[in-house]
Structures are given as C-alpha cells and as structure tokens.
A and B are shown apart, each in its own frame.
Chain A
Amino acid sequence: MSERRSADVLIVGGGIHGCSTALHCALRGLSVILFEKDHAGRHASGVNAGGVRQLLRDVAEIPLSIASMELWLNIAALVEDDCGFVSEGQILVAEDEAELEIARARVADLRLRGFTHEELIDARELRRLAPAVAETCPGGVVSRRDGAAIPLRATQAFKRRAAALGAVICENERVERVARESGVFVATTPRGVYRAPVLVNAAGAWGGALAASLGEVFPVETIAPMLMITTPMPAFIRPVVILRGRKLSFKQFDNGTVLIGGGHLGKAIPEENRTILDWRKLAVSAQTVWDVFPIMRSATIARAWAGIEARMADDLPAFGPSRLHEGLFHQFGFSAHGFQLGPGAGAVMAELIATGATNTPIDGLSPARFARAPG
C-alpha cells in the first residue's frame, strides 16, 4: 500500500518487465507506482527456465535482445545482485544434416542483416562445447555470450533496486479497473485510487485483458509452458542446449540439477493462478532427453511445473505505445521468451516514456501491427 496516490508513471505487473521499467524510470527521475497482484515474479518471470538467450530470436526482436544482453553482462552493476547469471553460451543442436542446413541458412541470413552473435559450428566444436550431446548430432549454432540466470532472484533484484531508487512497489495489490479520465489514467485497487499521465501495461498473461478493458484488443492467448528439473547430477555440460525439430531446452546448474524445458504446454487457469501439467507431453520431453543426452538416462525428476504466460498470435510481444491512447504503453505478450528481454525492454520503455523516442529498432514489435486485427 502506498501513501502516494499520483505519479508520473503507473505500471501494472511486477514481472521482470514491470520491475525493469520501474527501475529505469526511477533512474531517469520519473516517479513510479507499480502494482503487482501477487508478489514480484510470482508467475512467468519467476518460474521460467531462466534462459538469457539471443540465439534463434525472431529478427524483429534481435536489436532489443542485443541491447538487453549488454545489461545482462553487467547485471550486478545495474541491480546490485548478480541474479545468478552465468554466461556459458547457448547452442542450437542440429539432430541431422537437414536441420544443420536450415541452421546454416539462418546464420547466413543474419550475417547479411549485420548480426554476428550466431555462429555455425561443426560436429567437432559441438563436441568440444557439449561433450554429452549424442554423437549422431552433426553440428549446430552457438551464441557464445548467452547464458542463464535465476529468474525469481533476478526479478526481485530489479524490484528491490527500483524501490531503493524511489519507485513505489505495491505487492499483493490487484488493479481492479483502469480508466482514462481527461488525459489521466486512473487505476483502482482495493486500497485506493491512483493517477498518472502514463500507464505501462506489463501485466503478462493478464495484459490482454487489461488492454481490452481500455478498448484495445490483441490476438493473445494464455499458455502454460512446462518445465522439469532433476536431482543433482555430476557436472557434464556448461552451455544451454536447445533443439529446433523436437522441443527441448536443456540447462545444468552449478549445483548439478538439470532443467528440462522446451515449450510443451500444460493448461493455464489464470483466474485461479493455477496450472495443470500434462504428463504425457512431459514424457515426450523425457524421451527427447533420453535420445540426445545418454548420460541423463539415470537421472531422477525432482519437480515439474508450468508458468502462466501470454502468447501473441505471431509469437512477438506488444511493445511500445498504444494505438488508441496517448500515454498508454504496452509491454506484454512476450510469448514465453521475454525473460532475457526484461532488462533492455525496461530501459527502452523508460526512454520512450521520458523522451518519446528510442534509437533501438522496435518497430516490428509495435502494438500498432494489430490495428486491423479482428475483434
């Protein structure tokens, strides 16, 4: 609860995006009030795989991803916590020659566009970087500066730093209603009524509903990507490994536990903050791991879970000014790959709010691309 009832910026959503935007607004001297219905990082930002990945991103996201990577590489300087970030690289493993050919074309295309962070590797380099990968895999693509962090810890570090710089963070305070009255956004919670000329929609899986309540409809659905983690294993792999043909992301932590993800979906029940796992799909994940990492055949699964996320029809976020309301900015719908973008997106959003423009190319993510969307 805040004594403060008005500010320069209201932010709805205490995920890594909302917290990062709060921090960067505060750095720019803007007054901020952020609302989170649970605790910061309770949903997608806290329970995702923690991948800090530039690898394999849609071209429209790459500039934002690169900007964000610069912040990740010095994350402790920004939030006074290393967020558990380690930079051991991420590798896309090609399971056969056909997949390697697609990878080769992808890397060549990125070079033409001026992006050099993705690098084609042959079987030998793949084996050097990740000896545990099955010997049948002919190569892949590496993004060497990529890595992984601990998601809830990172999100809460952004929250704490934002609060230390003066942002007001209201956890366990649900925004029940927002309206725009004479050019000012009015947010109502059970604890009060708050006003600001700027509203940032960083409400994640609940972002579509918030936008719709202001008359702006997005083609968005709620999804529940599933993850599972093993008991500690001997250290056998440093980089994060992802596959393209079959769904898999794979990461071993320093304590030996191995995180297995890849986008198999459970069922999301956002109105109850709840998900239901689909074990038959997790079994498919287990089969993939069995094939690609023979050492994992003796592994024990300790836990499985799913986060609640928003997925856009084109798998890209709504990021930038609203197409309907001046002062409304959207920052949601990251479609299960928003964690790495959090630090950079907050910086760019604060820049947009403070200056009205940004040098980071984000046109492809503009909410305006849905102007003719049905509904």
Chain B
Amino acid sequence: MFRLTPEGAARPPLAFTFDGRAMTGRAGDTIAAALLANGVAACRTTPVSDAPRAPYCLMGACFDCLVVVDGVGNRQGCLTPLEDGMRIESQRGRRAVAELAS
C-alpha cells in the first residue's frame, strides 16, 4: 500500500505483530501508518456487510482504521502511536467483541 522513503526508513525500527504476522514499523508511526507501510490491504471488516476496509482519512474522522490493540477493540489506528511489541489484530465485523469477551 505505502512504501517508506529513504528518510522514512532511517527511523529506529519497532517490532509488532498484525494478526500474528511479525512486522516492522518505525518510531513516530501511528499504527495505521505502520500497517500501510507493511502492505496491509485491510485492517478491518465492517459490522454491516463484512466488507474489507483500510485507513481512509488518517486524521481521526472516518473510523475505518479501527483495530484491536493488545486485546482492546475499537481503537483508532491513526491516532494511536505504534509501540514496540504491540499485538495488533484486524477488527472483524462485530465478531471481534465476541472473541474478546470469551
């Protein structure tokens, strides 16, 4: 989806997982930016039709970047700074909540 410019790639790396896959972000990334730069096509599916969605506005308005962060759902990925070791999961429709509650 996105690629880092040489300047962007020069920042210190941060390790995180997305749906169990190991990925590398950079210091200063938001979760949404890190997912885009790792080529993640969709970070959630919608509660209504299960359609795939990716970050759209990156400024906190659209809520299409909702993800599950370290077990907490409905987090706006574009407003949450990436931290080393974060466990990020896609938010799948409304099922995400059932999985969390179980």
A residues at B contact (CB < 8 Å): 231-234, 255-256, 294-295, 297-300
Least CB distance, A86 to chain B, in whole angstroms: 18
B101 touches A298 (CB 8 A): yes
B101 touches A256 (CB 8 A): no
- Name the CB-closest residue of A to B72: A298
- Name the CB-closest residue of A to B75: A300
A231 touches B74 (CB 8 A): yes
Which A residues are in CB contact (< 8 Å) with B95? 234
Least CB distance, A136 to chain B, in whole angstroms: 18
B73 touches A234 (CB 8 A): no
B residues at A contact (CB < 8 Å): 47-48, 72-74, 93-95, 97-98, 100-101
Bound Cα distance A255, B98 (Å): 14
A299 touches B97 (CB 8 A): yes
Can you show 29 pairs from A to B with CB atoms below 8 A apart?
A: A231-B47, A231-B74, A232-B47, A232-B93, A232-B94, A232-B97, A233-B94, A233-B97, A233-B98, A234-B94, A234-B95, A234-B97, A234-B98, A234-B101, A255-B47, A255-B48, A256-B47, A256-B94, A294-B101, A295-B101, A297-B101, A298-B72, A298-B73, A298-B97, A298-B100, A298-B101, A299-B97, A300-B73, A300-B74
Which B residues are in CB contact (< 8 Å) with A255? 47-48
- Name the CB-closest residue of B to A298: B100
Which A residues are in CB contact (< 8 Å) with B93? 232
Which B residues are in CB contact (< 8 Å) with A295? 101
Which A residues are in CB contact (< 8 Å) with B94? 232-234, 256
Least CB distance, A260 to chain B, in whole angstroms: 16
Which B residues are in CB contact (< 8 Å) with A299? 97
Which A residues are in CB contact (< 8 Å) with B48? 255
Bound Cα distance A234, B98 (Å): 6
Bound Cα distance A256, B48 (Å): 10
Instruction: Apart from A234-B97, A300-B73, A300-B74, list 10 A-B contacts with CB within 8 A.
Output: A231-B47, A231-B74, A232-B47, A232-B93, A232-B97, A233-B98, A234-B95, A234-B101, A297-B101, A298-B101
Which A residues are in CB contact (< 8 Å) with B100? 298
- Name the CB-closest residue of B to A235: B94
Interface centre among B47, B72, B74, B97 (most CB of A within 10 A): B97
Which B residues are in CB contact (< 8 Å) with A298? 72-73, 97, 100-101
Bound Cα distance A353, B73 (Å): 55
Bound Cα distance A256, B94 (Å): 8
**In the A-B complex, the 6 residue pairs with the closest CB atoms:** A234-B98, A232-B47, A232-B94, A300-B74, A295-B101, A256-B94
Bound Cα distance A260, B71 (Å): 24
Bound Cα distance A62, B97 (Å): 39
Which A residues are in CB contact (< 8 Å) with B97? 232-234, 298-299
Least CB distance, A186 to chain B, in whole angstroms: 51
Bound Cα distance A298, B94 (Å): 12
Least CB distance, A370 to chain B, in whole angstroms: 49
Least CB distance, B65 to chain A, in whole angstroms: 15
Bound Cα distance A209, B19 (Å): 60
